[in-house]
Chains A and B, each alone.
Chain A
């Protein structure tokens, strides 16, 4: 099936074309939904077969290229449209198509009755098409095609309900914000690509990464490339300083938040960094920057998440925070761990978002968790799956999040230092706290909604079955990456699987400090104990003693306000970036450059022509003999010249 991997890209495209072109004619939601979901389901099957085929191959031939056609052939630049099927791209493809399929099915129920039903499925399929290009592309340009494609789909889907209000503006404003912020990152990525081409004379992954090992390239060049690529990643994956778009992206329908803004698209940056691992490990300074940015993002987003009241906002900040973890892992050289976290995070965060969607659906579009409470008995299936996901993200031992998060923490300690570990654990604690604050406020405690107008109800099976499958994956998904200390001689299966991809990169990295198993277990116990206590306190406080939370927020009103307003980052950006650009555009570019210089030049030329022709036209007297004299003089001069030059 490896040779048919292009089907995984083609099928979503076909789905997009059918739904996009004929959707308004089909009208029948079931047909549209089935077309939309089945194309992704089939793509998933193709990926699974390709995976099994790859597993059966010997390790050294697991990386295969499927060439489709020559895309560009200009002078020295020769770009093939080709897909790279290897351990990393297969892992990502499985996540994208697998989780994507479940979310498509869920969306059939969630979007029921929406007037843009066909449009929604068309966009979703287009997104999967772009995302598959991103993860399967065999060179930077195909990756970039997908990279831009997912940005476009993200824009389209955030602004899907373009006529609805969202916070202070409309959803289209949120969509615009996402698009513009992404564009800043994309610019960095483009520069990185140019530099790669300049340095290695190729954009093909295999060639570039091979040359990166052997070419005599200075560390500063590597650093520059890596920092540009990382800027691209911060845009797409919502890291400091470009994370502001992701919380606003919650303006889109909830399945979109689950698929694009939690499980897949936002992990594109992580994928890209770990794909280009060799470039990053060749620039240790940038690795440090990546780790620090990741860590800071994780911490900052988690603190903001503590006090938000919109169920999707909490999850959005949690996503930003978890993405920070992934970059922390990549920054300390644990690329495998970061991809592992991408996978487990896709399971439980998609589940959390879909669960939240189910709650919102059952609560008549209410999103404020202060207006929930006691929903446990009304929506048991949503409740159970949501709590499983919450335990998974909090790192409850044995669930998927525990394995991936703990691995990241361990590597940040072993490879980064104790400070990385402390902040990481603090973030993990905060994560556990805000997740269970969310769970308690939503499912436990007093019912705070208006019983006359709101009648909570469980969602239909088409929505709850994907929840259950994802809950199953959140429960057991971590067992493919059991750390060595528990699994013994087998080692970490997931790491062994990805190891060949990172071998050249890790060879450049400084050797891990040697640490004992005792240390690893000790750190694990500490972090688990802290997370469990955070869960306990959050549950206690928000279920039975909400006044404690109120007292605390009153006592620390200043810091509470800062957190509640998200560190005023949006306001700072507004004042520091948006306003100057707006003012500058108006005063300088429009009023001065456009009106005075450009218009002035155009009008000035017209005036010049008008005036000079007014003078010159006097020569045309209309007296034919005058013309004849001029002609004669001309002829005479010409003759004279000819004679003299003989």
Chain B
């Protein structure tokens, strides 16, 4: 079986992570920001799984399960918050959600 070198996984993971970070920083729609966070998490997951396979160590894969669990819980709470905010302010634009300001 042709094995794909580890660098490929890592480059893809880094690319996904950068896309995520950029999205979090520049997008104003809260849902998109949220999706970008998921993207960052999955980028991390990808590198974890890649290293796990590369070293033949299952710990990385187990850890990924935990991350996915937490990500699912986070998605639930996060989306609930976004809906609650939307009901209040009729917008999900993060620039307009600045009530903690001085």
A residues in contact (CB < 8 Å) with B: 617, 620-625, 628-629, 632
Residue B101 is within 8 A (CB to CB) of chain A in the complex:
yes
A629 to B22, CA, bound (A): 10
Whether the Cβ atoms of A623 and B94 lie closer than 8 Å is: yes
Q: Which 6 A-B pairs have the closest CB atoms?
A: A622-B101, A622-B98, A617-B102, A622-B100, A629-B25, A625-B25
Which residue on chain B has the smallest CB distance to residue A624? B94
A622 to B101, CA, bound (A): 4
- 20 inter-chain pairs at a CB distance below 8 angstroms, sorted by A residue, are A621-B101, A622-B98, A622-B100, A622-B101, A622-B102, A623-B94, A623-B95, A623-B98, A624-B94, A624-B97, A625-B24, A625-B25, A625-B26, A625-B28, A625-B33, A625-B94, A628-B24, A629-B25, A632-B21, A632-B25
Q: Which residues of A contact B95 (CB under 8 A)?
A: 623
Q: Which residues of B contact A620 (CB under 8 A)?
A: 101-102
Residue B90 is within 8 A (CB to CB) of chain A in the complex:
no
- B19 → chain A closest CB, angstroms: 14
Residue B73 is within 8 A (CB to CB) of chain A in the complex:
no
Residue B99 is within 8 A (CB to CB) of chain A in the complex:
yes
A623 to B95, CA, bound (A): 6
Q: Which residues of A contact B97 (CB under 8 A)?
A: 624
Which residue on chain B has the smallest CB distance to residue A620? B102
Which residue on chain A has the smallest CB distance to residue B27? A625
A181 to B26, CA, bound (A): 79
Whether the Cβ atoms of A621 and B21 lie closer than 8 Å is: no
Q: Which residues of B contact A628 (CB under 8 A)?
A: 24-25
- B28 → chain A closest CB, angstroms: 8
Q: Which residues of A contact B94 (CB under 8 A)?
A: 623-625
A628 to B99, CA, bound (A): 17
- B97 → chain A closest CB, angstroms: 8
A617 to B101, CA, bound (A): 10
Which residue on chain A has the smallest CB distance to residue B22? A632
| Interface residue ranges of B53-102 to A (CB < 8 Å) | 94-95, 97-102
Which residue on chain B has the smallest CB distance to residue A626? B25
A264 to B95, CA, bound (A): 88
Q: Which residues of A contact B28 (CB under 8 A)?
A: 625
A620 to B25, CA, bound (A): 16
Which residue on chain B has the smallest CB distance to residue A629? B25
Q: Which residues of A contact B21 (CB under 8 A)?
A: 632
A136 to B15, CA, bound (A): 92
A261 to B100, CA, bound (A): 75
Which residue on chain B has the smallest CB distance to residue A622? B101
Q: Which residues of B contact A622 (CB under 8 A)?
A: 98-102
Q: Which residues of A contact B101 (CB under 8 A)?
A: 620-622
A interface footprint on B7-24 (CB within 8 Å = 1, 0 otherwise): 000000000000001001
A218 to B71, CA, bound (A): 87
A617 to B102, CA, bound (A): 8
- A449 → chain B closest CB, angstroms: 86
A624 to B24, CA, bound (A): 10
Which residue on chain A has the smallest CB distance to residue B100? A622
A625 to B95, CA, bound (A): 8
A36 to B26, CA, bound (A): 91
A632 to B26, CA, bound (A): 12
Q: Name 12 extra pairs, CB < 8 A, besides A620-B102, A623-B94, A625-B24.
A: A620-B101, A621-B101, A622-B99, A622-B100, A622-B101, A624-B94, A625-B28, A628-B24, A628-B25, A629-B25, A632-B21, A632-B25
A624 to B95, CA, bound (A): 8
A625 to B93, CA, bound (A): 11
- B101 → chain A closest CB, angstroms: 3
Which residue on chain B has the smallest CB distance to residue A619? B102
A624 to B102, CA, bound (A): 13
A624 to B28, CA, bound (A): 10
A632 to B25, CA, bound (A): 9
- B94 → chain A closest CB, angstroms: 6
Q: Which residues of A contact B24 (CB under 8 A)?
A: 625, 628
Q: Which residues of B contact A623 (CB under 8 A)?
A: 94-95, 98
Output the residue of B28, B97, B100, B102 with the most chain A CB within 10 A. Answer: B102
| Interface residue ranges of B23-41 to A (CB < 8 Å) | 24-26, 28, 33
A493 to B52, CA, bound (A): 109
A632 to B20, CA, bound (A): 12
- A632 → chain B closest CB, angstroms: 6
- A391 → chain B closest CB, angstroms: 92
Q: Which residues of B contact A617 (CB under 8 A)?
A: 102
A629 to B94, CA, bound (A): 14
Q: Which residues of B contact A625 (CB under 8 A)?
A: 24-26, 28, 33, 94
Output the residue of B28, B95, B99 with the most chain A CB within 10 A. Answer: B95
- A620 → chain B closest CB, angstroms: 6
Which residue on chain A has the smallest CB distance to residue B102? A617
Q: Which residues of B contact A621 (CB under 8 A)?
A: 98, 101
A629 to B98, CA, bound (A): 16
A624 to B94, CA, bound (A): 8
- A438 → chain B closest CB, angstroms: 84
- B54 → chain A closest CB, angstroms: 21
A624 to B98, CA, bound (A): 8
- B12 → chain A closest CB, angstroms: 19
Which residue on chain A has the smallest CB distance to residue B99? A622
- A473 → chain B closest CB, angstroms: 87
A628 to B100, CA, bound (A): 15
- A618 → chain B closest CB, angstroms: 8
- A613 → chain B closest CB, angstroms: 10
Q: Which residues of B contact A632 (CB under 8 A)?
A: 21, 25
